[in-house]
Structure 1
């Protein structure tokens, strides 16, 4: 009887059976390019991708949405997008998201300063007025005990048109989806970014 060919051999990856939380799963071949690209970019296949990929159609939808929100032609600057993703991740206690998004923010901003000050952005001089109103809006959308006011929307309109506000809201909503998904399934940090202390900035119960 011929030996069964191991999937992914061409891509230099192990067989498509990964154990996460004791769950075993074989992944369809159509996901090979994504996993290969992750391994090339990060040196490993990331656990959130493996979890989303258990439902390939859901995985594809999430990947497309993320690609649109983080595209180069976005009306939101790369640093602004990263400020949003890190702050939402902090609020939702997503260790993996804080890790990977903090590393991205540090790369985009050129230092760790904004990463380290983000939880205390209201008192920090590192953030300009545009960044502060975006962070205020991010918190108003994310915290369940806050509401978005007309006054806050008017302050956003000083810096953004209506289409850009819709896109900003979509980014905040997506990061809430992503961080809550990873937090619920206890996805650990990958150690992309070594943070010197707990800077979650969450409200105390």
Structure 2
């Protein structure tokens, strides 16, 4: 339960109800963050459109990399729901449990490629309160994912930071999506 509960009979805008029905059909329930976002309909639709755009098959960023970046940002923002959900996506996309266990130590871990380390370092730099992105890091990223990939990585990081900060600010707990999610949570 979040810090602000949403009653089951909440009067969502008529144009949001079909989206919620699709989510309920796909997942068997509507996750708490979705219920809260949907209370601000236009922000919810914008958030969903951006999510769908960033997670499309034609993205210049590999799905594994997107899931790793999202999970790391969730850890940094202490968003238990996002760690749970994104770690489950990471496992579905072929990330190993060992990589998820080492995610907070990615710089020194042999389990991550140089490209993954660069993307994760970039995600951390964007997530920090005082953004400090190194030009050499961006240069390496341009070499591995191209200019459009770097732009999309910045958008992905911004979107995940929005999601994680929203969820953490409202006290949304993990919902049990990932079997190892509890051991990936940051310390309090």
Fold-level similarity (TM above 0.5):
yes
Q: Contact 1:120/1:201 (CA < 8 Å) preserved in 2? A: no
* Bigger relative contact order, structure 1 or 2 (CA pairs below 8 A, ≥6 apart): 2
Partner of 2:159: 174
Aligned to 2:175: 190
Residues 34 and 187 of structure 1: CA distance in aligned 2, closer, same or farther (over 3 Å):
same
Bigger mean CA deviation after superposition, 126-135 or 151-160: 151-160
Question: Max radius of gyration: which structure?
Answer: 1
- Under a length normalisation based on structure 1, what TM-score does the superposition of the two structures give? 0.83
- Whether the 8 Å CA contact 2:73–2:160 is kept in 1: the answer is yes
Alignment root-mean-square deviation, CA: 2.1
Which residue number corresponds to residue 21 of structure 1? 4
| Larger helix percent | 2
Deviation at 1:22, TM superposition (A): 4.2
- Aligned residue pairs total 185
CA offsets 1:139-163 (integer angstroms, 9 cap, x no match) = 1111124500112111212212212
Partner of 1:4: none
Gaps of 5+ in 1: 1-18
How far off its partner does 1:41 sit?
A: 2.3
**Deviation by residue 1:103-138 (Cα, 9 ceiling, x = unmatched):** 000110154232222111112111111111101111
> Comparing 102-111 with 128-137, which one deviates more in the overlay?
102-111
Give the alignment partner of residue 107 of structure 1, picking from 85, 92, 100.
Answer: 92
TM-score, scaled to structure 2: 0.90
Greater alpha carbon shift after TM alignment, 150-159 vs 71-80: 150-159
Q: Which runs of 4+ in 1 moved over 6 A?
A: none
